[in-house]
């Protein structure tokens, strides 16, 4: 199966909603193992989070299917004009970078990569890099948050992204911002 063709396509929010069950199942498989070690409680929050994110303006998703099975996906949204000082996601980002640097790096709608995941059984076959590239192909600037020193950070490094210091606490973990074109 390893060499069967992978079909990559872009979906809008309503088409992606139809895949909610398979996306959240893939998410559990990708985030349960190290380095994320997501708990059952965190995994149980995935469908609700995704449904909320599907409502964000400009939502875009990429899927990778092999032999009819979802093996990878990535999605994201254009960020706001100016990231707010409030909110469970933005507040720690602004605190870590400082207001001025947050404005310099992240203002004016850079594309936010919200999720990138590949089925552990099909990782290290170039699927993650291919779907990330397709997701940001139209973006001149993009950013995301991930775990430092992880397989994901290797993908970003291999795809021309740059890490930004400092690392900071979020989601009960130490995380790092990566930027593209910034």
Ligand X SMILES: CC(C)(COP(=O)(O)OP(=O)(O)OC[C@H]1O[C@@H](n2cnc3c(N)ncnc32)[C@H](O)[C@@H]1OP(=O)(O)O)[C@@H](O)C(=O)NCCC(=O)NCCS
Taking CB under 6 A as the binding criterion, the range among 11-19, 52-60, 117-125, 135-143 that sits at the site for ligand X is: 117-125
62: contact with ligand X by CB under 6 A: no
Number of amino acids touching ligand X (CB under 6 A): 20
162: contact with ligand X by CB under 6 A: no
98: contact with ligand X by CB under 6 A: no
Helix 151-158, helix 127-135: angle, nearest 10:
60
C-alpha dist (Å) from residue 24 to 4, 17, 109, 140:
23, 11, 27, 29
Distance CA 134, CA 62 (A): 7
Shortest Cβ 143–ligand X spacing (Å): 11
Shortest Cβ 144–ligand X spacing (Å): 6
Residues 62, 115: contact at Cβ < 8 Å?
no
116: contact with ligand X by CB under 6 A: yes
160: contact with ligand X by CB under 6 A: no
ω into 131 cis (within 30 of 0): no
């Amino acid at each position: 199966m390893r060499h069967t063709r992978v079909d990559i396509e872009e979906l809008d929010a309503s088409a992606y909603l139809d895949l909610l069950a398979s996306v959240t199942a893939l998410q559990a498989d990708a985030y349960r193992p190290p380095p994320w070690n997501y708990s059952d409680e965190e995994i149980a929050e995935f469908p609700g989070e995704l449904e909320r994110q599907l409502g964000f303006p400009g939502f875009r998703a990429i899927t990778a299917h092999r032999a009819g099975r979802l093996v990878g996906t990535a999605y994201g949204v254009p960020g706001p004009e100016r990231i707010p000082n409030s909110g469970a996601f933005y507040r720690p980002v602004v605190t870590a970078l400082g207001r001025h640097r947050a404005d310099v790096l992240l203002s004016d709608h850079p594309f936010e990569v919200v999720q990138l995941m590949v089925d552990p059984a099909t990782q290290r076959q170039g699927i993650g890099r291919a779907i990330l590239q397709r997701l940001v192909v139209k973006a001149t600037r993009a950013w995301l948050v991930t775990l430092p020193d992880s397989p994901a950070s290797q993908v970003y490094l291999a795809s021309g992204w740059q890490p930004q210091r400092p690392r900071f606490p979020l989601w009960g973990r130490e995380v790092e911002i990566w930027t593209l074109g910034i």
